[in-house]
Amino acid sequence: MKTLYRSTRETASHTMTSSQAVLQGLTPDGGLFVPVTLPTANFDFDQLATMSYQEVAYEVLKLFFTDYTADELHACIDAAYGDQFDDPQIAPVTKHGQQYYLELFHGPTIAFKDLALQILPHLMTTAVKKNHLQAEVVILAATSGDTGKAAMAGFANVDQTRIIVFYPKDGVSAIQKQQMVTQTGANTSVVAINGNFDEAQTTVKKLLNDHQLHAELATHQFQFSSANSINIGRLFPQVAYYVYTYAQLIKQGQIKNGDEINFSVPTGNFGDILAGYYAKQLGTPIHKLICASNRNNVLTDFFNTGTYDKNREFFLTSSPSMDILVSSNLERLLFYLTGSDATATAKLMTDLQTTGRYTITPAMRANLADFWAGFVTESQDQAEIHHLNHAHHYTIDPHTAVASAVAKQYQAATRDQRPMVVVSTASPYKFPQAVLTAITGELSAVDGLAAVDQLHELIQTPIPATVTALRTAPVRHKRVADVDDMGTTIKTILNLN
Ligand SMILES: *Cc1c(COP(=O)(O)O)cnc(C)c1O
């Protein structure tokens, strides 16, 4: 069966193949691509329990990317999940205290976005070839730190692609800046912006929609694309680690085939947890998906009241990748809650755009039973890091700690005894200052590599090789630009002038 894709906002059945949807990113009407009908999986989990991560990924991806051949998908998977991961299991599942931790930080940028962004470039270039396009794909990205670096690590040296990343000059952490300016790959460019993240992002969006610039690029055989988390080439590869986790728990003898488990997911843009929702729809025995937020708890309120309202104070927290007021992937869930009603979904999105809020119907709320939602304050987040370190000698990062703490809120509120898997989205070495502060109980004055060393002395777990490499990696990117000059800078980088 072929899986075709349609828009969340358009009733007219205008469909695309998976490779076309990967190239396109967003639908022409501004909605998101969803499968016209969900594929049927018929997973045999006892058999999946004998498989490697790559083999499980293939079983999942072949359901969603049906116009790719088996050889093409295997090639994408092999290129994405190889020895750039420092654990051969790619996504190992470990147990500490009463909870399981699904470690998604063993890739090149030591955060979970690698699971999606290592494979997206290969799905994209394969799509270019399949659709007989001549153009070179130019990825534009604005980043507050994590996504841009993970995208570059994925696209570096991938044929027929270029990637240009803009970051706020004084708006990223010391480690993140160092990761950015030392990025290798002849097709990568990094530009520091005299401005903040919002200005960089707004300008990138404007440039991606600039028809004149598109035309100019086209005459030079270039075509813009974006690597943001709404692309199906990022979303569906994430389903694989939910299926893999279930199979691994069987393999480890922790559960029997058919037992239900829960996942607690530190959530920002709602991409990661939505992949879990798809895993459940495909038949993975998942009881609840726990949507864990930091102080920016717009999703907690949505799940508990039925109203999404972004008109609220925005907080900077120690889990910055979850500091988000508009979770773009939530649109796909709304589509399912309406019973695949594109008109109703479009109406909610219009409400969001015009008033900053919307309220779902009681019937839609009744469909939210797969989820439970909660949030933690900064001090609760720190307490969770402290507790795991002291009681179980396991150190987690501030994003993972949000999910770990909210999982316990859920268990206290419901007395649900099912096995709980905390999705662990970053290495503690990515946020060493916050982790040091939480463990020692004293505000750490050091940051960057000095903080990495101090943390290492304290916890003894090996420093990831990608962090060690930063000590000697030469600076390759020194470009700085004003926000108003971003368009010109792109032309200079692509040699269009
Ligand atoms: C992006 C990110 C998240 C949030 O994931 P979403 O898919 O945006 O919900 C959580 N933790 C870390 C470390 C991240 O980088």
Ligand 1 pocket, mutate which of 399, 430, 431 (most atoms under 8 A from CB): 399
Nearest CA to ligand 1 atom 1: 321
Task: List, chain by chain if needed, residues with CB within 6 Å of any ligand 1 atom.
Answer: 111-113, 146, 229, 266-272, 321-322, 399, 425-426
Rounded Cα–Cα distance for residues 303 and 442 (Å): 35
Residues pairing with 94 in the sheet: 101
Q: Where are the beta strands (DSSP E) in 18-151?
A: 33-35, 93-96, 99-103, 136-142
Atom of ligand 1 nearest to the CA of 113: 15
How far apart are the two ends of the chain, measured CA to CA in Å? 47
Ligand 1 pocket, mutate which of 106, 109, 146, 322 (most atoms under 8 A from CB): 322
C-alpha of residue 266 to centroid of ligand 1, in Å: 7
pTM reported for the whole predicted model: 0.95
C-alpha of residue 322 to centroid of ligand 1, in Å: 6
C-alpha of residue 270 to centroid of ligand 1, in Å: 8
User: What would the two tokens of residue 497 be?
Assistant: 């002038």
C-alpha of residue 107 to centroid of ligand 1, in Å: 14
C-alpha of residue 269 to centroid of ligand 1, in Å: 7
CA of 179: how far to CAs of 148, 361, 474, in Å? Answer: 10, 45, 11
Q: In tens digits, what is the pLDDT along the chain, a chain of 497 residues?
A: 799 999 999 876 689 999 999 998 888 888 999 999 999 999 999 999 999 999 999 999 999 999 999 999 999 999 999 999 999 999 999 999 999 999 999 999 999 999 999 999 999 999 999 999 888 999 998 887 788 899 999 999 999 999 999 998 987 878 888 899 999 999 999 999 998 887 888 898 889 888 899 899 999 999 888 888 889 999 999 999 999 999 999 999 999 999 999 999 999 999 999 999 999 999 999 999 999 999 999 999 999 999 999 999 989 899 988 988 888 899 999 999 999 999 999 999 999 999 999 999 999 999 999 999 999 999 999 999 999 999 999 999 999 999 999 999 999 999 999 999 999 999 999 999 999 999 999 988 888 899 999 999 999 999 999 999 999 999 999 999 999 999 999 999 999 87
How many alpha carbons fall within 13 Å on the CB side of residue 483? 15
User: What would the two tokens of residue 289 be?
Assistant: 């998906």
C-alpha of residue 105 to centroid of ligand 1, in Å: 11
Atom of ligand 1 nearest to the CA of 269: 8
Atom of ligand 1 nearest to the CA of 272: 7
C-alpha of residue 265 to centroid of ligand 1, in Å: 9
For position 1, what pLDDT does the model report?
A: 79
Nearest CA to ligand 1 atom 8: 269
User: What would the two tokens of residue 271 be?
Assistant: 């991409």
Atom of ligand 1 nearest to the CA of 150: 15
Neighbouring C-beta atoms of residue 442, cutoff 10 Å: 8
Would residue 12 be called left, alpha or beta, if left means φ above 0 and alpha means ψ between -120 and 50 degrees?
Answer: beta
Give the three-state DSSP class for 492: helix
Ligand 1 pocket, mutate which of 120, 269, 299, 376 (most atoms under 8 A from CB): 269
The CATH class for the domain spanning 93-110+235-462 reads alpha beta
Atom of ligand 1 nearest to the CA of 270: 9
Ligand 1 pocket, mutate which of 102, 106, 112 (most atoms under 8 A from CB): 112
